[in-house]
Structures are given as C-alpha cells and as structure tokens.
Structure 1
Amino acid sequence: MPELNGILVQPDCRHFRGDVPCRPNKEHGYQCAGCPVYAPTQERILIIKLGAIGDVIRTTPLLRRLRQEYPAAKITWLTHTPAILPPSAVDEILKLDLTSVLHLQARQFELLFNLDKDKEACALHDTIRAVQKFGYTLLPNGVPWPGNTLANHKFLTGVFDELSLQNQKPYAQEIFELCGYEFRGEEYVFDTHDDKGYRWDSLPTSRPRIGLNTGCGDRWTTRLWSDTHWIDLISQLQQAGYIPVLLGGVAEDERNQRLHLATGAAYLGTFPLEQFINLMQQMELVVTQVTMAMHISIALGKPTVLMNNIFNPHEFDLYGRGQIVQPDRQCVCFYRGTCKLGTSCMEDLAPSKVFAAVRASLPASAMQKAV
C-alpha cells in the first residue's frame, strides 16, 4: 500500500474520496492505517440512468442484484436527479454535467450499464472505458441503437407502439434482462427520510390515511381525473371512516385547495421532495395515476391503487400490494397527451371502482382502524 510522508493511504477503498475526507474519517476519525471499515474495491461499476425522477426510482432494484453479485464493487451512478438516490446504496452519485463527464472519461470500469436512449447517455457509453458494456450505443449517424442483443427487447418496445402494447414484461424485468440478469422480484432501494425529523402532528392517527395524488404532470394530461370524480371518491372514503389526504406538488396546489374546500379532506400544502416522500410514508395506502408519486409509493412499499388508461398496465409491478384500475371503455390514446375522442376515457373510471380497489388493497390491520 502507498505511503505519503510516512502515512498509509489506501486509494482502492470504496470510501476513499481523494479530494475531501471520506465519510469514516469525517464521522469517526478513522485513518487508513488500521481502519475497521476498510473496503477494498474489486469491481468498478457505472450505471447511466439519467431520466426523470420516477424512472430513476424504478431502476433501483438493480442495485440489489449488483450488491449480491459484486459485494466488493464500487458503484457509481450518473443521473440528472442525484438527490433521489440513497447514498447508503450507491458509493458515488454524480449529476450529469461537464465535470462529471470529464471525470468519468478519464476512468476505467469493469461494468457499464447505460439504461437510457438519450443521445448524451449513448455518447457517454461509447466514450467511457469499460471491460463489459450493456445497454444502448450510438450509430455513426447519431441514432441510438442496442449495444448487444440483450437490449433488443427494451429498444424495440420503445420505438414501435404496437410492440409496446404487446409487451407483457414489467419495467424492472426489462431492465434486468437488458443487464443480463433474471428478475426475481427485487424491491426498490429507497430512503423514507424518517431520520430528518419531519413532524406531521396535524395528521390523524386513529383512522387509515389514504393519500390521494391528484396530478399527473403536464405531458400526458389524458391521465387526469376530474374534480367531480375526486370529490365523489373523497366522500366515499370519508363515509367509510378513512382519512383522505390530498397530495401533490406546486402544479396540483390549486386543484388540491379546491378539493380541500369542497370536501374538508386534509391538505398540508406543498413540500420539498424529501419532505414530500416522508409525508407519503405516513399513508396507509396511496391512490395515484402514473406519475412520480406512483413510483415513490411503490418504493415505500405502500399498497397502491393505480389509475391507468394510456399506458400498458403490464409495465407496472405493484409487488402484490394494491390494484391497477382502468376505465371500462378501452383507451385508444396509447402514450398520447391529448384524447382523440375529445373527452378522456378517465372520465369513464367510476369513483366507486377506485373505492372498491382501496377497500380490497388495505391491509387487515388498517381496515380495523376504520371500524
């Protein structure tokens, strides 16, 4: 091992930073000589998953398999949203910027997984040195392409709607297969932020709290449910002895204020992401459309009632907790942001159907609270 001025330094350790003190040194005063948590790196693994927050969250099951296969690996993850990843599960979390790109291009990895077809992600796949590479590359004309045959299935379902509609595999299974693994039901890796000291004294604890995530972003507004339907569902929940809690971000604030005034449903306002995650942690069940809150709910292990219309329901794995409910009328707007028929089929999803799914999905212990 190298010594600098007579002091032992072990740069192969997973904790070693080089530019600043490592966490064991900062928290416990350990130095390399005799360090009780010295963890020599045997493999260096890079995951490129830039994506939206939800896509990053639902890729985290891969971490469980990688830790099982390579317990002594140093795992680096490059993303647009580093704050969503749990530092306890990823050794190095990098945000996509010029500094990170230059840094990664100067290094060598044993395994590189590029899970995005974004052109910048594919370009990085091609310019970073690694013994084995999985995922997507760039053709000479700049078009994303499968890096090997393992990526064919996920690639094709992303470029042909007909194949996407026929797909029977959940997202996590597709990602695992792209990386050369069999999916065995690995759960998400996620942080509840219970250690941050957030207090929710205004939330009742005597009856089951049902989180209602009322928005879905502005890209695919065909997923939206009307205020009338939300009010109907809230009324049914209240009559059954549940506590409806309105959830959402800044984009949903106006709607949630309206629903709160119309029904008296609890609404605590909007919060930074970590605090919002911890608020969702307080729920017994979450009702949501396909949006970031859906991924957070699944990651937190919450029973989830997922309202879906424009996406292939096989894409979503609720891990046996909850139900996917869809309109009785077949949706003809697959992955479309506007409805061909003028009125979204979500209006044909009856609140009574969603309420029945809530009742069927709540654990028995939570049901007893409502009696």
Structure 2
Amino acid sequence: MKRFLIIKVTSLGDIVEALPVVADIQREFPGAKVDWASDELFADIVRWNGGVDRVLYAPLRRFKKTRSWADLKAIAASIGELRAERYDAVIDIHGVYKSAIIAWLARSKRRFGYLAQDLGERGAAFAYNGRFGPRPKCDAWLGMRISTGEALGYAVDTPPDFNMKIPRDGTALPAPQAPTALIFHATSKDDKKWPVEHWGELCRDLQTRGLRIELPWGSDAERDTANEIAALVPGAVVLPRLTVAQVAQRIEDVALVVGTDTGFVHLAHALLKPTVMIFVATPAVHLGVRAPGRSISVGDGQHVPPVQVAIDAVSAVYPPRTGAASQDAATSAA
C-alpha cells in the first residue's frame, strides 16, 4: 500500500484550498494512505478531511514567539512521529524553510518541491531531489493540485473535492430561524479591509432579499468593527466570540457567506455554501474562490471594489427573491 506525505503548514485558507490533493491522490492510487504535516494551529482543519490518515503537527508559530522549552519538546516529539513511517513520496506544496525541513526529515527517497523561482524562500531548495514543473498559469489552488499531479505522474481533470465533514460536538449555536448571511469583515491585514460604509450598504441590500445578518469576530478590534457595521444595519446580530469549529458549524447553517480575503471564506467555499469573496489588496484571479453559480470573487487587488460590484456578485450566487416575497422582506428590513 502506498503512503504519501503532503506538507502545507499554514494558513487556514491555504490549507483548505490544498485539501483536494488528497482526493486526487486517492483517485489515482486507490487505497493509498495520505498523511499531512501542518502547524498545530491548523491541525483540526486537516482532520476534517475524511481522506487524511495521520495529521502531523507541531507548535511552529507559537515557538517562534515563545521560544519555550515546552514547545521545543513538542516539536522534537513531532519529529519522532514524522519519522515513524516511510513514504513513497513527500510533496511540499508550501515551499519555505519550515516546510522544507519537514520534507528533509521525513523518511523518503523522493522529496518534491517547487523550482527555485517559485519558492517562498529560495533556500528551501536544499530539501528536494525532485521538482515540480514551472508554476502553471492558473490560480494558486489549482496550481497546487497540478504540481502534486506532476510529481506523482497523473493529470488533474476533475473539480476539487474537499471531502470535509465538520464535527457536530454539541457546541454549535442554535440554528438560525430564518435564512442568514454570515459576514466576514475581518482580515489579517488592514489593507485587505473593505470600508465599513460599504459593508453597511451591502448588508441592507441583503436584508431586502430576506436575509438576516450575522457578524462574527475574533479579536476586540474585530468586535468593534462588527459593532460599527451593525449600527448601520438595523437588526444585524453581532455574534459572541466563537471557536474555529463553531464558526465552521455556523457556516454550514447559514444561507450565504460574504467576506474579504480570509480563511473562513475559503472554508465556506469548501463547504459548498453560496460564497462571495471581496478582494481589496490582493488579486482575486490568483487567490479567489470560484464555482459557477455558487462561489465568486471580485476585486483586482489595486482598487476598492464598489458596493454594486459586490451586490451583483451576490446576485450571481444567491439570486434576489421576486414578487410579493421580495416586497415583504424589504418592508420588514426598513
């Protein structure tokens, strides 16, 4: 039985979008075992993929901040677990020093990584004895699938299969009593933010479609922004602080997800929800989500997308209601 190791260490959205390589491999090699190496922070995300056999993880991000002995021991223990198996091939689709070190430590005669010009950190090249071809002209997510296929000798010719199942552990919020839009306004960087006034206008439009508005957050600053948006949208609900699993559960329970370039919007796409992603500082064509009639990304990475562009994108994945129902929704939102 073949066993492969995929290395994609961070972050939430990148890992979610990389998960279809598991189904690709198992389609080509029936019965193959696929292990995955990630940062501890994202291990649960990988576990939600039903095709992954072992999730190998270490507190890499945390150790970078703490330099603590406990975290160093945890990293050392993870190396032992990594080396407990011998792999037919190791596929590093991350391409930086930390992922290259994992590839180099793994027990395998075949270790694949990017060409030097495609690496996130060129020094990572030391770890590989096989290289993917030149980066293909496509989005980053399809590119990872193509690179993995090149390494293992198969072509990618199917839609992405994320194979994700979110655990239902009794911690989910009560199911919404009406169709709901989940608004992910927060981002990892300030230059990726969409203006609060734009969110207010978009959310009021969503209300005319019969949608409730919910605003999640993960930090005090994000909660403040959620409250600013809610002040512009009568009836909008600022959610309590949720765990990653609770956010994922809520995504499954809502009718629509709209957000900026952030990991939870990628997760919504992977969970097959109607999804709109708004790009401000990064290009949608390279990093966005897309599935006809279900997921769409807007923004060229150089300009702030107008509200009407986002409204049109919503209409493409969640068409407006018509007739009396639409009028009733508009009246109740007013």
For the aligned pair, the TM-score class normalised by the smaller chain equals 0.7 to 0.9
- Deviation of residue 312 (structure 1)? 2.9
**Cα distance in structure 2, aligned partners of 1:105 and 1:200:** 40
**Matched residue type, 2:278:** M
Please tell me whether residue 129 in structure 1 is matched to residue 100 in structure 2: no
- Deviation of residue 326 (structure 1)? 2.1
**Matched residue type, 1:151:** F
**Cα distance in structure 2, aligned partners of 1:133 and 1:55:** 21
Please tell me whether residue 52 in structure 1 is matched to residue 52 in structure 2: no
User: For the Cα contact (< 8 Å) 1:209–1:284, is it kept in 2?
Assistant: yes
Structure 2 residue aligned with 1:19: none
User: For the Cα contact (< 8 Å) 2:269–2:295, is it kept in 1?
Assistant: no
**Percent same amino acid at aligned positions?**
21
Structure 1 residue aligned with 2:176: 203
Give CA-to-partner distance per residue, 1:119-155, whole Å, 9 cap, x none. 122123223221432225999x98123946752434x
Structure 2 residue aligned with 1:82: 43
Please tell me whether residue 143 in structure 1 is matched to residue 123 in structure 2: yes
- Deviation of residue 204 (structure 1)? 2.8
Structure 2 residue aligned with 1:228: 197
**Matched residue type, 1:88:** G
TM-score, with normalisation over the residues of structure 1? Answer: 0.71
**Matching residue within 279, 288, 296 for 1:323:** 296
- Deviation of residue 356 (structure 1)? 2.2
Structure 2 residue aligned with 1:276: 247
Structure 2 residue aligned with 1:110: 88
Structure 1 residue aligned with 2:55: 93
**Cα distance in structure 2, aligned partners of 1:143 and 1:171:** 21
User: For the Cα contact (< 8 Å) 2:186–2:222, is it kept in 1?
Assistant: yes
Greater per-residue helix proportion: 2
Whichever of the two has the greater Rg, that structure is: 1
User: For the Cα contact (< 8 Å) 1:168–1:314, is it kept in 2?
Assistant: no
Give CA-to-partner distance per residue, 1:93-139, whole Å, 9 cap, x none. 11132212133235421121111222122123223221432225999
**Matched residue type, 2:132:** A
**Matched residue type, 2:104:** D
SS across alignment from 1:92: strand
In structure 2, the CA distance between the partners of 1:123 and 1:192, relative to structure 1 (3 Å rule), is: closer
Give CA-to-partner distance per residue, 1:12-54, whole Å, 9 cap, x none. xxxxxxxxxxxxxxxxxxxxxxxxxxxxxx1121111111121
**Cα distance in structure 2, aligned partners of 1:298 and 1:252:** 22
User: For the Cα contact (< 8 Å) 1:204–1:243, is it kept in 2?
Assistant: no
**Matched residue type, 2:291:** Y
**Matching residue within 309, 314, 330 for 1:353:** 309
Structure 1 residue aligned with 2:330: none
- Deviation of residue 370 (structure 1)? 5.5
SS across alignment from 1:134: strand
Please tell me whether residue 66 in structure 1 is matched to residue 47 in structure 2: no
**Cα distance in structure 1, aligned partners of 2:130 and 2:185:** 40
Structure 2 residue aligned with 1:3: none
Structure 2 residue aligned with 1:254: 224
In structure 2, the CA distance between the partners of 1:173 and 1:74, relative to structure 1 (3 Å rule), is: same
- Deviation of residue 58 (structure 1)? 0.9
**Matched residue type, 1:203:** P
Give CA-to-partner distance per residue, 1:307-326, whole Å, 9 cap, x none. 11332322234222232222
Give CA-to-partner distance per residue, 1:64-100, whole Å, 9 cap, x none. 1122122322221111021111263211111132212
TM-score, with normalisation over the residues of structure 2? Answer: 0.78
User: For the Cα contact (< 8 Å) 2:257–2:268, is it kept in 1?
Assistant: yes
Please tell me whether residue 293 in structure 1 is matched to residue 264 in structure 2: yes
Please tell me whether residue 182 in structure 1 is matched to residue 155 in structure 2: yes
Q: Which runs of 5+ in 1 are unaligned?
A: 1-41, 155-166, 332-344
- Deviation of residue 276 (structure 1)? 0.7
**Matched residue type, 1:175:** M
User: For the Cα contact (< 8 Å) 1:185–1:319, is it kept in 2?
Assistant: no
In structure 2, the CA distance between the partners of 1:317 and 1:149, relative to structure 1 (3 Å rule), is: farther
**Cα distance in structure 2, aligned partners of 1:88 and 1:276:** 19
Structure 2 residue aligned with 1:34: none
In structure 2, the CA distance between the partners of 1:237 and 1:120, relative to structure 1 (3 Å rule), is: closer
